[in-house]
């Protein structure tokens, strides 16, 4: 089954509706403790704080992630093969910004997008570069390019801000209930059973919604990556390699068959399901994409961490 444009647009529409539904649910969960704390004003105050947090996060978290990963900027003469590949992927994704590739000296197999389509980049670890072939890296990089293209980082920042704020406000409500405990025991105030139940379950529900949103965006990023590369098998092969390396701790804890409820706590969908969806798509060879069937990209130099001044000034 080829990836047709009508299917792609249906997926985008479905993804957009699901995202709106999950974000509305996060806002509703956030508004409940805000209402308990200060009525309608508390709800408005919570939403205003989310907007402020999102604005601040658009400046800070991406740089913090890169700084904490000891990331350095890979320049074109450091990795010409990867930059030729990124140039092609950015062009197919209609991204007008120049590609920026960051290198993290970590043995973990990971890649992540930072920023958005106006000012963003992709970070890859040393472990990923040493493990995946250029064809597999093309699928992974296309996946991250799709995150940049559709602003997934910003969406997840809003969801994360809502979840953190929900936790903080429910903590304040719990402290308030504890302070009122003498009056409740004296019979001056009724015991707030409903409020207690709401603040007990609100943080967990908000976290589960945030994780569901992340899994939803990952499914769509897979499909968008195939629309860019036309090579579902390259990404599927990369996911198989990542699963073998990254799921070892799960096997150690739960054996070869982790419990089904663990899927609810994942930021990414089950790899087997992602691969099944990818393999159901017929490949569409793209001869103009600069990858090879085998082999790994060559790095002519591995940059050290960027200075603090770079992360402060970089936008």
Q: How far apart are CA 303 and CA 69, in angstroms?
A: 13
Partners of 122 in beta bridges: 101, 113
DSSP 66-119: HHHTT-EEEPTTT-HHHHHHHHHHHHHTT--SPP-EEEE--SS--EEEEE-SSS
Q: How far apart are CA 201 and CA 235, in angstroms?
A: 38
- Tokens 């569409």, residue? 284
How far is C-alpha 121 from the geometric centre of its chain's CA atoms? 14
- For 285, the token pair is 């060879």
What the block records as the tokens of 191 is 């015991």
For residues 287 and 136, the answer to whether their CB atoms sit within 8 Å is no
Residues 165 and 30: beta-carbon distance below 8 Å:
yes
Query: What string of H, E and C letters represents the secondary structure of 198-229?
Result: HHHHHHHHHHHHHHHHHHHHHHHHHHHHHHHH
Pairing of strands 111-115, 72-74: unpaired
The yes-or-no answer on residue 144 being catalytic is yes
Q: Which of 81, 96, 136, 144 is catalytic?
A: 144
Helix axes 232-246, 134-149, angle to 10 degrees: 100
Q: How far is residue 172's CA from residue 39's CA, in Å, rounded to a whole number?
A: 14
Angle between helices 5-57 and 152-179 (to 10 degrees): 50
CA 142 to CA 150: how far, in whole Å?
12
Catalytic residues: 144
């Amino acid at each position: 089954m080829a990836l047709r444009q009508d299917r792609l647009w249906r997926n985008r529409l479905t993804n957009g509706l699901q995202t709106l539904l999950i974000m509305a649910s996060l806002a509703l969960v956030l508004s409940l403790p805000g209402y308990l704390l200060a009525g309608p004003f508390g709800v408005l105050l919570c939403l205003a704080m989310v907007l402020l947090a999102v604005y601040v996060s658009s400046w800070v978290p991406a740089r913090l992630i890169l700084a904490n990963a000891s990331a350095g900027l890979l320049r074109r003469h450091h990795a010409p093969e990867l930059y030729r590949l990124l140039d092609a992927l950015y062009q197919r994704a209609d991204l007008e910004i120049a590609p920026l590739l960051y290198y993290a000296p970590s043995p973990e197999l990971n890649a992540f997008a930072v920023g958005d389509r106006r000012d963003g980049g992709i970070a890859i670890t040393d472990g990923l570069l040493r493990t995946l072939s250029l064809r597999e890296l093309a699928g992974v990089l296309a996946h991250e390019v799709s995150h940049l293209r559709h602003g997934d980082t910003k969406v997840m920042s809003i969801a994360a801000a809502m979840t953190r704020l929900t936790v903080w406000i429910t903590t304040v409500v719990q402290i308030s209930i504890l302070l009122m405990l003498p009056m409740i025991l004296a019979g001056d105030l009724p015991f707030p059973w409903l409020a207690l139940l709401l603040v007990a379950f609100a943080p967990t529900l908000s976290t589960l919604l945030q994780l569901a949103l992340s899994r939803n965006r990952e499914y769509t990023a897979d499909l968008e990556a195939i629309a860019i590369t036309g090579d579902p098998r390259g990404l599927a092969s990369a996911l198989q390699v990542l699963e073998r390396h990254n799921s070892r701790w799960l096997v150690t804890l739960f054996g070869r068959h982790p419990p089904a409820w663990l899927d609810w706590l994942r930021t990414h969908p089950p790899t087997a399901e992602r691969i099944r969806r990818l393999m159901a798509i017929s490949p569409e060879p793209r001869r103009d994409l600069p990858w090879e069937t085998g082999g790994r990209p060559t790095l002519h130099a591995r940059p050290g961490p960027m200075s603090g001044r770079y992360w402060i000034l970089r936008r």
